[in-house]
Chain A
Amino acid sequence: MGETIVFTSGKGGVGKTTTIANIGAGLSRLDKKVVMLDTDMGLRNLDVVMGMEDQIQYNLLDLLDNQCRLKQALIRDKRYPNLFMIPAALRCKRIRDYESKLYTLITQLKQEFDYCLIDCPAGIDDGFHFAISAADRAIVVTTPHISAVRDAGRVLYLLESQRLKQVDILINEYNERMVKKHDMLSKSDIEEILGTNCLGTVPLDDKIIVSQNQGIPVVSLRAKSARSFMKIVREIDNPKIIPVDLNAEDPCEKQQHIFLGGKECGYEG
């Protein structure tokens, strides 16, 4: 039985699509079978970032409307062994009416895939509620910028009523040099403010832009962000290794917090 992880943020442009593409590719490198769903209807991006834009015949809405079979909507990545994508539709009327159909689809996908990764639109409107409706777990992507962290806080608050088995944050565009100079919020600052465990940080990296120009995930290249993504991928795939932040005041206390957090929601993993 696979796991469904929604990637959300509140604020737009913080790196949800970039993160999902690389975590998807990274998990498939670890021999996991992965499907990525783009629910950012109207403004699809994941296909472009993955370099799959010219392979689209059907989309998620076609599939939910029974206009095509699952096999027809799944686009297989030619470079990674077990990586698939279902693109977003270019229209998005009454998306919340599709929540039960999405749930049925995801239940079906979880039989076949180890991971089902959902790319969520920015904002906290209907598209957000649709995207989180069938998730087991959420990763809230933020940057260390004050407005992004605030919006992440808002999203974490909204996710609380969702009864997910695990919620973590991921910090993108992290600048170690600025953090050292106390010019940027640090990983532990953000964990403290949001009261949530951080899976890892990804630096601002020109190679991400270059790789997206070419339609390939950066984890395929030699790049500092590729190493960060692979570290996060291992973190996601191996929940027994609990992240210990050496900068935190008391790492033991933090471990316990994560453990209890999971237990409270009935997490068996």
Chain B
Amino acid sequence: MKGRKQDDSRLIAKERLKLMVDSEPLECSETTMSRMKQEIADIISRYYEIAPDNYEIKVVLKQNKKRA
């Protein structure tokens, strides 16, 4: 094998695991999440004239486990 391909499954697994092992999902209520998304949508509409159907907002909250 010559140089590493960008899509080596090994590297993809490694990146995914680094996120999973060092952090865990932060609990967030349904209403907080939808209010947060609405505020982000408002910001987007300030900069772009774009219909809500044409973009998607995904918020992933992680907290560090602070492993020693």
Chain A residues within 8 Å of B, Cβ to Cβ: 146, 149-150, 153, 156-157, 160, 179-186, 189, 192-195
Contact = CB atoms under 8 A, between A and B. Distances in A.
Given A153-B20, A194-B21, A146 B67 contact: no
B14 A185 contact: yes
A189 B67 contact: no
A184 B20 contact: no
Given A149-B13, A195-B67, 16 more contacts: A146-B16, A146-B17, A150-B20, A150-B21, A157-B67, A160-B68, A179-B10, A180-B1, A182-B5, A182-B8, A182-B9, A183-B8, A184-B10, A189-B13, A189-B14, A193-B17
A189 B21 CA distance: 13
Contacts of A195: 67
B58 interface: no
Given A180-B1, A181-B1, A182-B1, A149 B17 contact: yes
B65 interface: yes
A185 B20 contact: no
10 shortest interchain CB distances as A-B pairs: A153-B21, A182-B8, A182-B10, A193-B17, A146-B13, A150-B20, A189-B14, A185-B13, A149-B17, A157-B65
Nearest to A180: B1
Contact of B14 (A153, A157, A160, A193): A193
Interface residues of B, number: 17
B20 A182 contact: no
Interface of B: 1, 4-5, 8-11, 13-14, 16-18, 20-21, 65, 67-68
Majority secondary structure of chain B interface residues (helix, strand, loop or mixed): helix
B18 to A, nearest CB: 6
B59 to A, nearest CB: 22
B63 to A, nearest CB: 13
A181 B2 CA distance: 10
Contacts of A185: 10, 13-14, 17
Contacts of A189: 10, 13-14
Contact of A153 (B1, B4, B8, B17): B17
9 contacts: A149-B17, A150-B20, A160-B67, A182-B1, A182-B4, A182-B11, A183-B9, A184-B10, A186-B10
Nearest to B13: A146
Contacts of B14: 185, 189, 192-193
B10 A183 contact: yes
Contacts of B21: 149-150, 153, 193-194
A263 to B, nearest CB: 13
Contacts of A160: 67-68
A168 to B, nearest CB: 15
